[in-house]
Amino acid sequence: MNFFFNPDGICVVGATPNTLKGGYAIFKNLLIGYKGNIYPVNPGYKEIEGIACYPSVRAVPGHVDLAIVFVPARLVPGVIEDCVAKGVRGVMIESGGFAEAGRDGSLLQQSLKDICKRTGIRLWGPNCMGLVDAVGGFLFSFMDPRSLQQGLLIPGNVSLVVQSGLLSAGFLVDVMSHRVMGISKVCSIGNKIDVNECDLLSYLLQDTNTEVIGHYLESFSDGRRFMELCRKSTKPIVVLHGGKSKKGAEAAMSHTASMAGNHKIISGALAQAGVTEAGDFHQMMDLCRSLSATPRPTGRYGRIAVLTFSGGSGIVASDFIEEYGLIVAELSPETKDTLGLLFPDWMPVGNPVDLWPAIEKHGGTNVDVYSTALAVVLGDPAVDAVFLHAFAGNFQLGLNVTDIAEQARTAGKPVFVWLLGRQEEALRFKAEAVSCGIPVFQEISRAVECLAAVFHQQRSSEIFERLPERKKTIRIPDNICDVLKKAVGPLDEYASKTILRLHGIPTVEEEIISDKAECKEAAKRLGFPLVMKGLQKGKVHKTELGLVHLNIATPDDAVQIFGSLKKKMDPSGQVLAYKQVRGKIEIIVGLVRDFHFGPCVMLGLGGIMAEILSDVVFAPAPLTIEDALALIGRLRGQKIFDGFRGEPPVNREELAAILVTVGTIGLQYPRIQEIDVNPLILGEKGALIAVDATIVLR
């Protein structure tokens, strides 16, 4: 991949002297920033900007590592064949008009894939904006050349991989012109015909100029490889996934011809891999720059000291700190005593630290209240980070950004700034803060949200204490093996639970009943109250068909209901019976085979809560016990597992083991498309037991 980022010789196919064309912008950008040999290719010109122009790639006399192509889509396959003949290693196809444009474009795109597969040439794009390298100072893109000429490229340590072309350019110009952050590289990958997010992530993880990697993706080319790269990464990774809603997914397909996956599954996969997920573009950039700030926290608790010029903003900050799972630090007595020397006698010291009375007390003196207070709280072992409120344009609230950054580095603790003030002074403050690695925000909520992400990233990188995993040899009867090999569609409840039980998932004791005489005896053996169900091949939703009866109290009632169920089914239907399980906590456990990530385990709250809250989370298999415990911890309503209105608590390790087993079953049997254990009930004695289940085979 290095020949895309550091090529030895570039040809621009579609270069033109017409300043209104993209081919001119690509060529001009190379002239401004790229230091190697540049070869314009266009049969219509002998030279462009005083440089010899060639009729084809084959005609270029020098060595070429990279071709940047910007010609009509119909001409691109021929250009790629020329590049192969020339020995070009990689091609950036910035032309549009491929799969995103309909059937004809899809056929053209397929022809490019065929060339790629046959020859091994690497193709980046099409329908993309190429590459921007702010550290190297060059653009392999048709972005406006004035971006370089006006000095908009601020070098930084954040790299971006963006599937949308014009969006990558628009946001790059936005963050640069507002002096919000610096950038290392921006990779616009478009339709991902060959080079994809995994290739680029793998490269950027090794790039010494990249410390944080942000992604805007509408699809995942290889979800499992992407997850594995993220899990092994020592660099923070942020992902914004487009296509969460149905309309969003439709837009994603028409925009870059990508298939958007189920977002809950994707979100679960990202969380399992330790990725920070963003909800919009500005948030993605804010998260990236926050995670790239120096220093990263050494404390793991997220105890925050707030230094403010206003009691009101301190209160609001405290509210958000608690909302985002951080802690308003309890300052040590020594810190309070030292800070107290800055304040008038009548002012008690607490956290948030309202500095205005101290500023008034020392007005006209050489005492720098902000700097002194910052040093004191950063030195407190009970403080992990500082949230500093600043005002640009008031001499009494003046701040030395370099001093803030130096104190933060010395203490090894992050300092985030919320900034108000006059526009010009604020812009100068932000520009200086960017160069010093101090994140500055205009909203208290976003500042705290990003600070929380920094500490979440810190916690997610820690190694959990490994718990023993349950291993045993499983012997599957021949008749069940035959079902798993040959059946198609939904298995009935009895067969499904049998498979789960054989793999170690606890299920109710149950029997298939053949006739009325057997029904009465089985009812006595199983005990009351009894549940009886009609099992009809291919019918999953038994309740809607009137095939479920609860609270059966006597053998005679059981016999009557047996007859009723048999009448509602065809002759192949069977009747299932088991003792009813009492319990107030119902859980849904399942598995779906996702297009991007393969078999993914699902966990949710059951019963009424499942319908009202839709509180479900996913994680791709295989799961470790640690993965499963983390999955449980992502449920919004997980506190109900700790015991509710006299109910026993859920044994989280037991539930985690069930989740691990479900994932293992999904991996072991590729024909299993879905598993639905609904509900898994916490019984009266505190044990989990599967009451109903369905396995769907493809």
Give pLDDT tens digits for 241-292: 987 655 444 443 323 223 334 788 899 999 999 999 999 888 999 999 999 9
Give the tens place of pLDDT for each residue, 121-147: 999 999 999 999 999 989 999 988 776
Q: pLDDT at position 255, please? A: 30
Give the tens place of pLDDT for each residue, 406-455: 999 999 999 999 999 888 888 888 889 988 989 999 999 999 999 999 99
Query: Looking at the structure, do residues 287 and 140 belong to the same domain, yes or no?
Result: yes
Average predicted confidence (pLDDT) for the chain: 88
3-state secondary structure 600-619: EEEEEECHHHHHHHCCEEEE
Give the whole-angstrom CA distance, residue 618 versus residue 637.
Answer: 15
Q: pLDDT at position 216, please? A: 93
CATH number at residue 632: 3.30.470.20
By the 10 Å C-beta count (0-12 exposed, 13-18 middle, 19+ buried), 637 is classed as exposed
Query: Looking at the structure, do residues 275 and 142 belong to the same domain, yes or no?
Result: yes
Give the whole-angstrom CA distance, residue 693 versus residue 495.
Answer: 9
By the 10 Å C-beta count (0-12 exposed, 13-18 middle, 19+ buried), 156 is classed as buried
Confidence of residue 458 (pLDDT cuts 50, 70, 90): low
Q: Is residue 538 part of a domain?
A: yes
Q: pLDDT at position 543, please? A: 77
Between the two ends of the chain, the Cα-to-Cα distance in Å is 38
**3-class secondary structure, 665:** helix
CB atoms within 10 A of CB 69: 26
CA R_g for the chain:
31
Query: Looking at the structure, do residues 345 and 281 belong to the same domain, yes or no?
Result: no
- H or E stretch covering 90: strand 90-93
Helices assigned H by DSSP within 327-443:
333-340, 356-361, 369-378, 401-411, 423-436
Q: pLDDT at position 434, please? A: 87
Is residue 472 over pLDDT 90?
A: no
The last residue of one of the domains, among 579, 608, 638, is: 579
**3-class secondary structure, 462:** coil
pLDDT: is 613 or 2 the higher one? 2
Give the whole-angstrom CA distance, residue 265 versus residue 261.
Answer: 8
Give the whole-angstrom CA distance, residue 303 versus residue 351.
Answer: 11
Q: pLDDT at position 610, please? A: 59
Q: Tell me the mean pLDDT in the region 144-163.
A: 82
Is residue 608 over pLDDT 70?
A: no
Whole-prediction pTM value?
0.87
Q: pLDDT at position 251, please? A: 44
Q: pLDDT at position 253, please? A: 35
- Which domain range does residue 535 map to? 509-579
Q: What share of the chain is helix, strand, coil (3-state, %, to 5)?
A: 40, 20, 40
Distances (CA, A) of 649 to 205, 587, 609, 641, 655: 42, 13, 18, 5, 11
- Helices (H) then strands (E): counts for the chain: 25, 31
Is residue 111 over pLDDT 70?
A: yes
Q: pLDDT at position 464, please? A: 38
Please report, as a single letter, which amino acid is at residue 521.
Answer: E
Q: Is residue 40 part of a domain?
A: yes
Q: pLDDT at position 577, please? A: 94
Give the tens place of pLDDT for each residue, 371-399: 999 999 999 999 999 999 999 887 666 68
For 130, the token pair is 């190429």
The last residue of one of the domains, among 552, 579, 606, is: 579
DSSP labels, 329-344? ----HHHHHHHHTTS-
Could you give the percent of the chain with pLDDT greater than 90? 69
The mean-pLDDT minimum among 154-163, 170-179, 560-569 falls in 170-179
Give the tens place of pLDDT for each residue, 637-660: 888 888 876 778 899 999 999 999
Q: Is residue 493 part of a domain?
A: no
Q: Is residue 482 part of a domain?
A: no
- H or E stretch covering 12: strand 10-13
Is residue 160 over pLDDT 50?
A: yes
Q: Is residue 503 part of a domain?
A: no
Query: Looking at the structure, do residues 144 and 123 belong to the same domain, yes or no?
Result: no
Query: Looking at the structure, do residues 618 and 573 belong to the same domain, yes or no?
Result: no
Q: Pick the closest to residue 195 from 143, 142, 123 (CA basis).
A: 123
Query: Looking at the structure, do residues 152 and 285 belong to the same domain, yes or no?
Result: yes
Q: Is residue 497 part of a domain?
A: no
The last residue of one of the domains, among 292, 313, 336, is: 292
Q: pLDDT at position 474, please? A: 74
Query: Looking at the structure, do residues 3 and 42 belong to the same domain, yes or no?
Result: yes
CATH number at residue 447: 3.40.50.261
Q: pLDDT at position 166, please? A: 58
Give the whole-angstrom CA distance, residue 265 versus residue 299.
Answer: 31
For 575, the token pair is 């009747």
Q: Tell me the mean pLDDT in the region 464-485.
A: 68
Query: Looking at the structure, do residues 19 and 117 belong to the same domain, yes or no?
Result: yes
Q: How many CA atoms lie within 13 A of 503 on its CB side?
A: 22
pLDDT: is 213 or 468 the higher one? 213
Query: Looking at the structure, do residues 270 and 161 belong to the same domain, yes or no?
Result: yes
Q: Is residue 489 part of a domain?
A: no
Strands (DSSP E) found in 225-325: 237-241, 276-278, 303-308
Confidence of residue 13 (pLDDT cuts 50, 70, 90): very high
Q: Pick the closest to residue 99 from 32, 215, 222, 191 (CA basis).
A: 191
Query: Looking at the structure, do residues 146 and 254 belong to the same domain, yes or no?
Result: yes
Give the tens place of pLDDT for each residue, 649-697: 899 999 999 999 999 999 999 999 999 998 999 887 778 999 999 999 9
Q: pLDDT at position 546, please? A: 85
Please report, as a single letter, which amino acid is at residue 206.
Answer: Q
Q: pLDDT at position 469, please? A: 47
Q: Tell me the mean pLDDT in the region 562-576.
A: 90
Distances (CA, A) of 200 to 1, 95, 160, 326: 8, 20, 10, 33
Q: Is residue 236 part of a domain?
A: yes
DSSP labels, 571-596? TT-EEEEEEPPP-S-EEEEEEEEETT
Q: Tell me the mean pLDDT in the region 547-566.
A: 92
**397 CB contacts (<8 Å, ≥6 apart)?**
309, 359, 370, 390, 391
Q: Tell me the mean pLDDT in the region 598-617.
A: 79
The mean-pLDDT minimum among 46-60, 253-267, 465-479 falls in 253-267
Query: Looking at the structure, do residues 213 and 113 belong to the same domain, yes or no?
Result: no
CATH number at residue 111: 3.40.50.720
- Count of domains forming the chain: 5
Q: pLDDT at position 463, please? A: 39
Q: Pick the closest to residue 76 from 104, 49, 51 (CA basis).
A: 104
Largest CA distance in the chain: 100
Q: Tell me the mean pLDDT in the region 298-314.
A: 90
Query: Looking at the structure, do residues 250 and 348 belong to the same domain, yes or no?
Result: no
Confidence of residue 293 (pLDDT cuts 50, 70, 90): confident
Is residue 459 over pLDDT 70?
A: no
